[in-house]
Amino acid sequence: MGFLRLVARTMGRVSTFRSYQFVLLLAAALAVVAFYYFASERQNFSSTTKRMKESQASHHVSRNAADLTVDTRVSDYPEPEEQEREGPDAEFEAQRGDGNVGDYHYHALMMFTKVDKSRSLQDKFRVAMLSMVKHARFLEGELLVLHFVSDQASKELGEKMLQEFLLDATFKYEVLFHDVAALTQKLFPIVEAMQKHFSSGSGAYYSDAIFFLSVAMHRIMPEGLTRIVQLDLDLKYRTNIRDLFQEFHRFPSGAVIGIAREMQPVYRHTFWQYRKENPQSKVGEPPPDGLPGFNSGVMLLDLGAMRASRLYNRLLEPGNVAQLAEQYRFRGHLGDQDFFTMIGMEHPELFHPLACGWNRQLCTWWRDHGYADVFLMYYQCGGPVFIYHGNCNSPIPDD
């Protein structure tokens, strides 16, 4: 009996040992299975994460590339807070071309009459176009549309000159010539009444209705054209002209025209009678606190805003033009520039003042004709020069 108990006890221990061994083997097997299972899941997770990151990076690149074709604002020119926009379609309809995504047009217009008869105008045109082409840079899908208001002889000459001047252009462009006679016919009924107030006399250069084109361009151009920059021929560009268009985005609410101040005391002289009758007035006074008037060598015309502005269109009415001219005792000779200066005295909210560097006028005529003591107060211009304006045949620096 003692032997049997010993055997039974021994067999129980062996059985228990085998049970422990089985459990250990089972645990080891489960551990192996778990290792491969979770390793597989970890690999799947890593692959999925990688694909997500690659996908996000791809979308980011695509979004930035797309933005370049729509957002033409200079990065350091913030959108005015008070101005409401309706999105890219509304914001850039002035530049929209044939409707393709990313196809935007920038419109620039120059008067190009009687150029065939003037070597001086031809030389100025050469300087203007070569300097514009040298600095101009546009994004993919953007097009610079150059409009020239011209007579037939000047058109023929201009087409030949432009073949040379645009040879090195790195941007897409289109050239359009507008018949001066046809535009004048459309303009004359609108501006006839103001010509007697802002022209130097019958038959004079600025007495022609065409030199009031900027005043009423919104009335005679197609409604699809909503923004345009009007430029004199006697300019020299020192920066990318595309940057000038970005000033449209700085217009405050209600503004219809972007324009720089006059840099001579011409309106100190022109408003002499009004200033005499109103000695406390700032009319004709120099900057920064005075109202020196405007210079039309470089203008941004928001044609859409001009069409929509009840105030601006009311000021074009003959009776209102005559009333303001009488109120300010105004008699000018510089065409559209005089009109804008006069209404600007009464309604500055219609204008977005450009920095003087966008129209750095070089004429010093009034310094030598009775205004030397105050001339520099008007003529000074702090900040960088983007466009030189060689008005009254002034020489333009070579730099």
Lowest mean pLDDT among 180-194, 224-238, 250-264, 304-318: 180-194
* Nearest alpha carbon to residue 239 among 42, 384, 62, 33: 384
Residue 213: name the closest of 240, 237, 231 by CA: 231
Residue 321 has pLDDT above 70, yes or no: yes
Which of 100 and 173 is assigned the larger pLDDT?
173
Residue 203 identity (one-letter amino acid): G
Nearest Cα residue to 260 out of 140, 148, 316, 341 = 341
Answer whether residue 286 shows pLDDT above 90. yes
Q: What's the pLDDT score for residue 16? A: 44
| Confidence (pLDDT) at 383 | 92
Instruction: State residue 334's pLDDT score.
Output: 87
The two tokens of residue 367 are: 């310094």
Dihedral of CA atoms 198, 204, 209, 215 in degrees, nearest 10, equals -40
Judged against a pLDDT cut of 70, whether residue 11 lies above it is answered with no
pLDDT value for 371: 97
Pick the residue with more confidence: 5 or 341? 341
Given a cut of 90, whether residue 27 has pLDDT beyond it is: no
Which of 30-34, 144-148, 238-242 comes out lowest in average pLDDT? 30-34
Average pLDDT of span 110-120? 97
How large is the angle between the packed helices 119-135 and 152-165, nearest 10 degrees? 40
Confidence band (pLDDT; 50, 70, 90) for 30?
low
* pLDDT tens digits for range 71-98: 222 223 333 333 333 333 333 333 444 3
Contacts of 209 (CB under 8 A, 6+ apart): 184, 187, 188, 191, 192, 195
pLDDT at 193: 84
What pLDDT score does 196 carry?
A: 83
Rounded to an integer, what distance in angstroms lies between the CA atom of residue 53 and that of residue 240?
37
pLDDT value of position 201: 62
State the DSSP code for 114: S
Average per-residue pLDDT for the chain: 80
Q: Which domains does the chain have, with CATH numbers?
A: 89-393 (3.90.550.10)
pLDDT higher than threshold 80 for residue 387: yes
For residue 60, pLDDT over 90 is answered with no
pLDDT at 20 over 60: no
In this prediction, residue 331 has a pLDDT band, given cuts at 50, 70 and 90, of confident
Dump pLDDT digits (tens) for 333-371: 888 999 999 999 999 999 999 999 999 999 999 999 999
Helical packing angle, 213-220 and 180-198, nearest 10°:
130
Under DSSP, is residue 67 helix (H, G, I), strand (E, B) or coil?
helix
Q: Which residue has the higher pLDDT, 32 or 111?
A: 111
For 262-303, the DSSP string reads PSSTHHHHHTHHHHHH-TT--BTPPTTTSB--EEEEEEEEEH
If you average pLDDT over residues 143-148, what whole number do you get? 98
Write down the pLDDT at residue 103.
Answer: 65
Q: Looking at 161-277, which runs of residues are DSSP E strands?
A: 172-179, 227-231, 235-237, 257-261
Q: What is the pLDDT of residues 198-244, one digit of tens each?
A: 876 644 444 478 989 999 999 999 999 999 999 999 999 999 999 99
- Which whole number is the average pLDDT over 110-137? 98
pLDDT over 70 (residue 165): yes
Residue 13's pLDDT is what? 46
- Which tens digits make up the pLDDT trace of 251-279? 999 999 999 999 999 999 999 999 999 99
pLDDT score of 310 more than 80:
yes
CA-closest candidate to residue 249, choices 70, 93, 79: 79
Q: How far apart are CA 300 and CA 228, in angstroms?
A: 6
For residue 155, the model assigns a pLDDT of 98
